[in-house]
Structure formats: C-alpha cells, structure tokens
Structure 1
Amino acid sequence: MLATSLIFTFVYLFSGQLCLAETRYGYEYIPDVDGWLRLYTVPSTWANARLRCQLEGGTLASPQSNPLAAAMMKMMGENGQNLNIVYTGINANIAKDDYMTIDGLPLSNISLKWAAGEPNNCENSEECLVMNGAGELADVNCSRVFGYFCFKKSAKMSKTKCDTWDSDYQLDPRTGSCYKFHTAQHNWHRAALTCRAEQAHLAVINSDTEARVLKKLFAKYPREKNIQNGDWRTIFGETFAEAGFETWSVNEPNNYLGNEFCGTMHRNGRLNDFSCDIKTVFICEITPLGKEILDGHQHRVIKVRRGKRVTRVR
C-alpha cells in the first residue's frame, strides 16, 4: 500500500507508560530581546534539539546578544537540576570550521568567550558549540547529548482559537476539535513528535462523525498532489515560503534513490532535490548590508539586514 493512501492516528501498542512532554507551557518571556526562551533539561543530540525547536515554531537558541546570553545563563542557574552545559544553535555542519547560528549569523558577529583550551576540534569531529553556566563556549561532537534552549519570537507566541501558535489548525464544530493535515511524510514517532510540538496529538477517532470529518479532510489532499518530500529549509533556517520562492520542477522533489537532501535549480529556474555528494556548478550571492532593492513586480522595497531580506511595502 502506498504511504500516501494512509495517515497516522494515535494508535500504538506498547508496554509500560507513554511519557509525553508538555509543550503548552515552559517558555519565559525575555523583554530585552522581545522573545521567549524554553529550557529543555532532558539531554539530546544537537540534531534532535534543533528538530524539537523547529517543530515548535522556534529555533535552537544561540547567545547572539548579551541580553539573550544573560537570560540563558540565568535560567541555567535557576533550573535546580545542576544543568551546567547546553547546546547552542551555533554549528559548522554546512561548511567545516565555518561556524554560524541557525539563522545564518556568523560566529565573528557574536560577542563570546571560549572556555579554557577551547576550541580544540578534538579528533577533527567537533562541529557544534555548547555553552556553560558562565557563558563560555566549547566545541563538541554533535552526537553528544546536552540540554538546550528553544527561542521563539513574540510574534510566534500568540495563540489561536485552537489554543496553539499554529494558525494552520482549523476548528470543526461537528467534533469541537481542531485539525491540521501535514503534507510532509514521517514515520509514526516523528509524526507524534510533530503534533506534540504544535501543542496537539495524533488524531484519535472517537466517533463515526469524527471519522467522516477526517475522511473529508484527507480527501482534500489527493495521493498525487500536495504531498511533500521532507521539510525543506534554506541555510538561514527559513522555509521556502518564508524565503519567498517555493516552485519545484515537475515531479520534484522525489528523493530519487532515497538520498536527495540538498537543493539545486534546473535551467528552467525551478527547484530540484539532489544528492549532497554529487559535484555540480554553483552560484554564490552577496547582498550589501543596508542595500535597498526595488522589486518592480511586487512594488515593494526589500531592506537587507545581516544577509537577510526584510520586506516593507512602499
């Protein structure tokens, strides 16, 4: 049976107890940065920490300003679990030894101090940075496990009528529940984590009425349409929609041979997924800071800040 002819529901055989993390609370507002922090004390690998924060609509926090660094150190000191090291979002996973935050801020733009003897790139395998309670950084292997912070901008903390930050959830009066269809395909465990991060859970069918509601929702997404292959992001951590362009070539992305995890552009100007290990030509881009670009089609001015484009209507 094709994967796109079925959907996961919250049905799972297990022994023992199922422990689900509470995601509705735990964020603390930091006025000096107009954002919210949540400290996760359960150790995780860097990749899983980044994933959790991303699914919650935030980013793996980095001490990229003095107020944010101070807030992170304060919460570490007050957590009561003797947590003295956390992952930061600063990493060199894209290019070896070229450290930047998840949203693309280079290490050279961050005021920081290293712990004694750091960085040392032990065995040439340390590409993620951690921070201790004194605000000192060290490089570590990304597969090691540490606590971490998720950071969310204030705009992403507003709640909808469905009691979540995610506006894609829609209330159905026939059941009194809110639903969201995910077009990115995942296994059961990743699907469950995604729902929990959105303050929800995998759908539980409690009645014939609810079965009909889900059947109708499912029918809106035909097997050959609207089913995504993964969660694609730019090097700045943006979705393609946030970046401003998400037009794929026909029948792409298709993850051919199961190893196409990097993005390319065809000569038709449309996107294509591609193996990260195959050599091909590429284009580099520089947009000078403070440069204003007139977008004639949209009649807007795009202001560039720290390598990103911030749009304002003219």
Structure 2
Amino acid sequence: MLRLLLVFGLSYVFSVTDVCGTPDYLFSFEAGGWLKLHKTPQPWEEAFVQCHDEGALLASPLNKGLANAIHSQLAQSSVNGQVFLGIHDYYSKGDYVSVEGVPLTDMDIKWAAPGNGPDAGDCLTMTVDGSARYASCKDPLPFVCYRKLDNQTLNECGTFDNEYRLNQKTGSCYKVHREKVSWTRAYKSCSSEGGHLVILNDAEEARIITAMFPPRTDKSDPWERFYIGLVTWGKDRVWTTIHGEKIENVFNKWSSGQPDNYEGIQNRGALIWNGELDDVSAAGVKLTFVCEKSPKSKRFADLPPCSEKVIRLCSLCDESQI
C-alpha cells in the first residue's frame, strides 16, 4: 500500500512540473489544503461564489489547524480588520453552519472579547487576533478561500476542473459553460477559473469553438451564440479583444449587417452557431460562453515533495501501513 501511495504522491508532483505560472493558492500542512486570501472586499454571498468559481470554499475554522491557518493568512497580510468566514445562518435563523454544513458548535471558535451577539448579523468574521465576531453579510469584507487536499490531481490543463479540455491544434484548453449569464458574469467566471473568455485568434480556432455548439435541431435557436472575449471602446466603437489585440489581427468575420449596435448598447462580441460574429449588450442578453485557459497557468501551488506528511494528509491508507 505504501508503494502505491508513493507512486500517487510522485505522480501528483510530476504531473505539474511542466506547468508554470504564479499560483495564488498556497499549500498549508496545518490546514490540510490550499488557502488564498482575497483582499478586495465583497459581500458574503459574492465571496462564496468567488471561492466556488475558483474550485474552493469560503474557509471556516473547522478544526484547530484550519483556524490557525486562516489566522496566519490574516496576520501576515496588510488587511486591517476582519475577513469573512464561511459561517452563516441563511438556512435557519440562529442556526449557524459552515458552507460544508458543519454546525458552529463543532468548530474551533475563539470568540472576541467583548463579543457581540447574533443580532449583529447572519455571518461570522475573523479579526486580526484570530477571534470570531458576528457581522452583516452585506457589508463587503476581505475573505479566505480553502480547498481541502484529496486524491484529485491537476490535469493536463493545470486545473482540477476536468471540464477543461486541451486542444492540440491551438495549444489552449477550453470549457463550455451551458448556463446562460450576462457577459460580465461570464468574464468573472472564466477569470475565477484561472482563464479568460475565449479569444478567437484565427479562422481555425473559430471553427474549433463553433464545433462546441450543441447539434442543431428544428427547435434550435437561430441566434444561438457564445459570449467571447471581444469588446468595443469609445464613440468610434474600436473593437479589441479583452487582451487589447486589434480586431484586424484576430478572427473578424461578422454576420451580415453586423455589428449594428442595436439600440446603441451593443458593446460586446459573441460567436453565432454558424461561425460568424455578432455584437451584443453586456447586460441585456444572457448567453452561454466558452472559457479559454493556458495549460501552463495554474491556480494551485505544487504539493511539497512526497513525504510522510503528504501521505497522511491524503488519507488513502491506514496509519499502520505507513
């Protein structure tokens, strides 16, 4: 069993040695996983979604090690004040649980002195001294995301998300999001996953992305589209990609009569199922979208070299077998 575990540990490290980039989730033995401090304040629900999109959870002091690790993130940062914890009573007033469903009474909580009561809010925060307080969920605060170590490995796209698939022709990884959202929400989702809204560099890439539309039927939307990373600027409507490339230098085959800036609000680009471009509103239209990610970028840092600590954290065998 030990030999099998060592192979697992080594394969994890080797699977990401050719993946570069600066990870923003750092591994903590004390936490038994990866942590990331978000310094930009957000309301609690938006913080929850941000962590979720990144493949993590809003961190809670589920045990002493995790409580210490969250406190260390806060103490070592320039954040003055509090950070949101993943603890709330949204489901039932006064019944506080973590986002994993762990009751407050089962967590390692050090209360602030003097403390405040539940009337102060439906969420919990941690202060710079490591103590917890009740707080409003609506007031924006920094927050910490956490991903527990398990037996998943980073795939060839440098992510735990297996919906990303590497295309050998373009060298990029792609993921289709089937839920229809605004362009802004699509942009944020891709960014949170370590990628970006797809940029169509040429006709070949446009054909590859067009092939990701569902098969056409009699009931198919004649204007079925994907949001892409194309935007327009200023009164002269200068089109560029979200990375600043001129539209003349990337795929730019517009559908007949497009872009028409209908009602003067169409300032984002979309790919129609027939492989041509359309201009759309950033907020007024909800569409599916495609995220693009470099296989050389990653969000989560490598595990430390395979060791007894790593094997124990993986929890893949009895301690008697280590």
Does residue 188 of the first structure (1) align with residue 183 of the second (2)?
Answer: yes
> Hey, what does 2:111 align to over in structure 1?
114
Does residue 173 of the first structure (1) align with residue 163 of the second (2)?
Answer: no
Q: Indicate the SS of the match to 1:148.
A: strand
1:68 and 1:221 map into 2 onto residues whose CA distance is 49
Q: Indicate the SS of the match to 1:139.
A: strand
Does residue 151 of the first structure (1) align with residue 146 of the second (2)?
Answer: yes
2:216 and 2:30 map into 1 onto residues whose CA distance is 43
Deviation for aligned residue 1:116: 2.7
1:212 and 1:221 map into 2 onto residues whose CA distance is 16
Percent identity of equivalent pairs: 31
> Structure 2: 5+ residue runs without aligned partners?
1-20, 225-322
1:50 and 1:141 map into 2 onto residues whose CA distance is 14
> Hey, what does 2:64 align to over in structure 1?
66
Q: Indicate the SS of the match to 1:138.
A: strand
Q: Which structure would you say has the larger RCO, counting Cα contacts within 8 Å and 6 or more residues apart?
A: 2
Deviation for aligned residue 1:113: 2.3
**After superposition, what is the alpha-carbon deviation per residue over 1:97-133, rounded to whole angstroms, capped at 9, x for unaligned?**
11000010001111312213433234xx610000112
1:221 and 1:37 map into 2 onto residues whose CA distance is 43
Q: Indicate the SS of the match to 2:179.
A: coil
Question: 1:86 pairs with 77, 83, 87, which one?
Answer: 83
Q: Indicate the SS of the match to 2:181.
A: coil
TM norm structure 1 = 0.59
> Structure 1: 5+ residue runs without aligned partners?
1-22, 228-314
1:157 and 1:197 map into 2 onto residues whose CA distance is 19
Q: Indicate the SS of the match to 1:33.
A: coil
1:37 and 1:74 map into 2 onto residues whose CA distance is 10
Distance change (3 Å), C-alpha of 1:181 and 1:82? closer
1:78 and 1:28 map into 2 onto residues whose CA distance is 13
Deviation for aligned residue 1:176: 1.8
Does residue 208 of the first structure (1) align with residue 200 of the second (2)?
Answer: no
Which ranges of 4 or more aligned residues in structure 1 deviate by more than 4 Å?
A: 220-225
Q: Indicate the SS of the match to 1:182.
A: strand
1:139 and 1:93 map into 2 onto residues whose CA distance is 13
